[in-house]
Amino acid sequence: MSKKEVQRKPEWLKIKLNTNENYTGLKKMMREKNLHTVCEEARCPNIHECWAVRRTATFMILGDVCTRACRFCAVKTGLPTELDWQEPERVADSVELMNLKHAVVTAVARDDLKDGGAAIFAETVKAIRKKNPFTSIEVLPSDMGGVEENLKTLMDARPDILNHNIETVKRLTPRIRARATYERSLEFLRRAKEMQPDIPTKSSIMVGLGETKEELIEAMDDLRANNVDILTLGQYLQPSKKHLDVQKYYHPDEFAELREIALKKGFSHCEAGPLVRSSYHADEQVNSAAKHRQELAEQEAQQA
């Protein structure tokens, strides 16, 4: 039996497609507004659930061409030209039209920009908040070159959640991520929490790339040591033959075990499952983080 046959997708990775009017309507609106979504660009397996059922979407600003060529990612790589200062307003308008309770804003890595795209990120947060005061906002930036000033620009806009993904375990990072480093991502998350201690931080890990359970637990410990509140764990799926092969398909029971381990380590929320992605059920995570902060505050008040 060949390796490819051994690694055939298991039953639990089959996706139910739903192309109702919510899905088609959102797709039409994104094109009319000249907006990109990571849901489409990264070929997210949950696009039908999120667009058709939950009516949520993750906006991808700063164009659709990334300056990095990570070996797991389906987003186009090249030299970007797009820098559209009207984009924050278009995103805010779309959030209003969609009547979103929670909006996620991510972006391609823009190493060609001195600020890594921080200014447009911040303007997008402000524009959404102005038009949609009751919508919670999550941002998912690259490491922005590890420049503290860039992160400060973004955190000063006060998103409700700062999400930055370490993607994989320490040992595999050089092979899987382009330009980014494991240590710099941890530092980015730690600095975000130091700048705005009341804003929850979040990170995500893909599994199935050859990591061990011990390495996953080590990564959890590293995230908690840098005060990360929320963790998502999902199965890596190969976008094309050019990308890294899947080394293992984790069973749902294994995800359940990893989730229990994460919660015991102190994460306020952990979403874990074969089709879980960084923005999956993000609306629930922000509520969970807020509830966890309230419980901690009550405990501290009782101890005082």
Instruction: Let me know: does 289 contact 266? Beta carbons within 8 Å.
Output: no
pLDDT beyond 90 at 277: no
The whole-number average pLDDT for the span 274-288 is 65
Enumerate residues 6+ apart whose C-beta is below 8 A from 288.
Answer: 230, 268, 269
* Integer Cα distance of 234 and 46 in angstroms: 12
pLDDT of residue 253: 96
State yes or no: pLDDT of 200 exceeds 90: yes
Q: How confident is the model at residue 6 (pLDDT cuts 50, 70, 90)?
A: very low
Whole-number pLDDT of residue 179: 76
pLDDT in tens, 165-190: 999 999 999 888 877 899 999 999 99
| Mean pLDDT of the 104-123 span | 87
What pLDDT digit, counting tens, does each position of 230-246 carry?
Answer: 999 999 887 667 777 88
- Calculate mean pLDDT across residues 42-61: 61
Which residues make up each annotated binding site for [4Fe-4S] cluster? 39, 44, 50, 66, 70, 73, 279
- Lowest-confidence region among 10-19, 67-76, 257-266, 284-293: 284-293
- Which contacts (CB < 8 Å, 24+ apart) does range 149-156 have? 149/115, 150/115, 150/116, 150/118, 151/118, 151/188, 151/191, 151/192, 151/195, 152/195, 153/115, 153/118, 153/119, 153/121, 153/122, 154/118, 154/121, 154/122, 154/125, 155/192, 155/195, 155/196, 155/199, 156/122
- Mean pLDDT on 278-297: 58
Q: Are 38 and 83 in contact (CB under 8 A)?
A: no
pLDDT in tens, 56-107: 668 888 777 766 656 656 566 777 766 889 999 999 998 888 777 788 998 8
Delineate the domains of the chain, giving CATH numbers in brackets: 19-303 (3.20.20.70)
Quote the pLDDT of residue 180: 82
Q: pLDDT confidence of 25, banded at 50, 70, 90?
A: low
pLDDT at 82: 67
| Residues whose CB is less than 8 angstroms from the CB of residue 61 and which lie 6 or more positions away in sequence, other chains included | 36, 87, 88, 91, 105, 106, 107, 117, 120, 121, 124
Highest mean pLDDT of the ranges 74-88, 184-198, 267-281: 184-198
Where does the pLDDT of residue 287 fall: very low under 50, low under 70, confident under 90, or very high at 90 and above?
low
Determine phi and psi for 166, rounding to 5 degrees: -80, -20
Beta pairing, strands 136-140 & 161-163: parallel
